[in-house]
Structure 1
Amino acid sequence: MTNQLRALSAIRLSVRTDETTSPGRQRAANSNEAARRGAVIVGEAEDLDVSATKTTPFNRPELGAWLARPDDFDMIIWWRMDRAVRSMADMAELGRWAKENGKLLVFAEGPGGAPLELDMRTVSPVSELIMMMLAFSAQMEALAIQERVTGAQAALRTQGRYSGGLVPYGYGKVKNPDGEGFKLAPDPDAVKVLSGIIRDVLDGQSLTAVAMALNEAGTLVPRDYQAVKAGREPGGMRAGRRHDRFKWTAGTLSKVLRSPALMGYRLHQGKPVRDRDGNPVLIGEPVLSREEFDTLQDHLSTLTPQKNRTRKDTQAMLLGVAKCRGCGGNLYLSKRAGGMDYNCRATARGERCPASAGIRADWLEAYVEAEVMARIGDSQMTKVITHKGYDPTPELREVEAELRALYADKDSRKSRTGRMIWQEEVDALERRAEALEATPRTEARTETVETGETYASFWARHDAAGRRQLLLDAGARATVAKGRSGGGAERLKGPAPERLKFTLASHEDLHAARLEEVEAEEYAASYE
Structure 2
Amino acid sequence: MNQLRALSAIRLSVRTDETTSPGRQRAANSNEAARRGAVIVGEAEDLDVSATKTTPFNRPELGAWLARPDDFDMIIWWRMDRAVRSMADMAELGRWAKDHGKLLVFAEGPGGAPLELDMRTVSPVSELIMMMLAFSAQMEALAIKERVTGAMAALRTQGRYSGGLVPYGYGKVKNPDGEGFKLAPDPEAVKVLSGIIRDVLDGQSLTAVAMALNEAGTLVPRDYQAVKAGREPGGMRAGRRHDRFKWTAGTLSKVLRSPALMGHRIHNGKPVRDRDGKEVLIGEPVLTREEFNILQDHMGTLTPQKNRTRKDTQAMLLGVAKCRGCGGNLYLSKRAGGSDYNCRATARGERCQAPAGIRADWLEKYVEEEFLVRLGHFQMTKVITHKGYDPTPELREVQEEMRALLAVKGSLGGSRAAEAIWTEEVAALGRRLDALESTPRTEARTEVVETGETYASYWARHDAAGRRQLLLDAGARATVAKGRSGGGAERLKGPDPERLAFTIGAHQDPEAAALEAVEEEERQAHLD
TM-score in terms of structure 1 length: 0.83
Q: Which residue is 1:177 aligned to?
A: 177
Contact 1:202 1:296 in 2 (8 A): no
Aligned-residue identity in percent: 82
- Give the C-alpha shift of residue 144 in structure 1: 2.0
Q: SS of the counterpart of 1:42?
A: strand
User: Take 2:312 and 2:227, find their aligned partners in 1: how far apart are those partners?
Assistant: 36
Q: CA 1:8–1:307 in structure 2 vs 1: closer, same or farther (change >3 Å)? A: farther
Distance 1:296 1:191, change over 3 A: farther
SS of 1:261 mapped into structure 2 = helix
Q: Which residue of 2 aligns with 1:428?
A: 428
**1:200 Cα deviation after fit:** 5.0
Distance 1:390 1:77, change over 3 A: same
- Measured in 2, the distance between the counterparts of 1:391 and 1:431 equals 18
Deviations 1:212-232 (A, max 9, x none): 6666776665545555555x4
The 3-state SS of whatever aligns with 1:426 is helix
Q: Which amino acid aligns with 2:153?
A: A
Partner of 1:419 in structure 2?
419
CA distance in 2, matches of 1:153, 1:337: 67
Once the two structures are superposed, residues 6-55 of structure 1 have per-residue CA deviations (whole angstroms, 9 ceiling, x without a partner) of 01011112244799993343333323332333221112222223210012
CA distance, structure 1, for counterparts of residue 373 and residue 162 of structure 2: 65
Aligned to 1:95: 94
Structure 2, unmatched stretches of 5+, are 512-528
| Contact persistence 1:266–1:273 (CA under 8 A) | yes
3-state SS of the aligned residue for 1:508? coil
- Partners of 2:310 and 2:248 lie apart in 1 by 20
- Aligned match of 1:235: 233
Match of 1:406 in 2: 405
Verify the 8 A CA contact 1:191 1:287 in the aligned structure 2: no
* Matched AA of 1:23: P
Of 168, 177, 190, the match for 1:194 = 190
Amino acid at match of 1:440: P
Higher relative contact order (CA 8 A, sep 6+): 1
Q: Distance in 2 between matches of 1:19 and 1:383?
A: 52
Tell me the distance in 2 between the aligned counterparts of 1:91 and 1:299: 53
Aligned length: 505
Instruction: Give per-residue Cα distances to partners, 1:256-282, cap 9 Å, x unaligned.
Output: 444333434333333222222212233
Alpha-carbon distance in structure 2 between the residues aligned to 1:244 and 1:346: 42
Tell me whether 288-297 or 65-74 shows the greater mean CA deviation. Answer: 288-297
CA distance in 1, matches of 2:426, 2:338: 72
For residues 321 and 41 of structure 1, what CA distance do their matches in structure 2 show?
A: 73
Cα offset for 1:135? 2.5
**Aligned match of 1:440:** 440
- Contact conserved, 1:235 with 1:242, CA < 8 A, in 2? no
Verify the 8 A CA contact 1:183 1:283 in the aligned structure 2: no
2:508 match: secondary structure: helix
Unaligned 5+ runs, structure 1 = 512-528
Tell me how far apart the structure 1 counterparts of residues 117 and 8 of structure 2 sit (CA, whole Å).
15
1:323 corresponding residue in structure 2? 322
AA of the residue aligned to 1:166: L
Distance in 2 of aligned mates of 1:20 and 1:457 = 57
Distance 1:182 1:330 in 2: 60
3-state SS, counterpart of residue 308 of structure 1: coil
Kept in 1, the 8 Å contact 2:375–2:510? The answer is no
**How many angstroms apart in 2 are the aligned matches of 1:162 and 1:313?**
40
Distance 1:509 1:426 in 2: 59
Pair 1:445–1:366, CA change in 2 (3 A): same
Structure 1 residue aligned with 2:275: 276
Q: How do residues 445-456 of structure 1 correspond to structure 2 at under 5 angstroms?
A: 445-456=445-456
CA distance in 2, matches of 1:313, 1:288: 29
8 Å CA contact 1:379–1:454 kept in 2: the answer is: yes
CA distance in 1, matches of 2:509, 2:136: 75
Aligned residue type for 1:57: P
Cα separation, 2, equivalents of 1:462 and 1:219: 21
Q: Are the aligned partners of 1:202 and 1:299 in contact in 2 as well (CA < 8 Å)?
A: no
Question: What letter corresponds to residue 13 of structure 1 in structure 2?
Answer: L
Instruction: Name which of structure 1's ranges 119-128 and 389-398 shifts more when overlaid on structure 2.
Output: 119-128
Alignment of 1:481-520 (within 5 A): 481-505=481-505, 508=508
The aligned residue for residue 152 of structure 2 is: 153
Aligned pairs (5 A) from 1:206-245: 222-223=221-222, 226-227=225-226, 232-235=230-233, 237-239=235-237, 240-242=239-241
User: Which deviates more from structure 2 when the two are superposed, residues 346-355 or residues 123-132?
Assistant: 123-132
Give the structure 2 partner of residue 349 of structure 1: 348
Alpha-carbon contact 2:475-2:507 (below 8 Å) kept: no
Partner of 2:308: 309
Aligned-residue offset at 1:76: 0.7
Q: What residue identity is the alignment partner of 1:402?
A: E
How far the C-alpha of 1:61 sits from its partner, in A, is: 2.6
Within 2, Cα distance between the matches of 1:129 and 1:460?
84
Distance 1:347 1:394, change over 3 A: same
- Code of the residue aligned with 2:236 in structure 1: it is R
C-alpha deviation, 1:233, in angstroms? 2.8
Match of 1:364 in 2: 363
Matched ranges for 1:471-486 at <5 A: 471-486=471-486
Q: Could you say what secondary structure the match of 2:381 adopts?
A: strand
Q: 1:196 to 1:493 in 2, by over 3 A?
A: closer
Aligned equivalents of 1:314 and 1:247: distance in 2?
21
User: For the residues of structure 2 that align with 1:335 and 1:21, how far apart are their CA atoms?
Assistant: 61
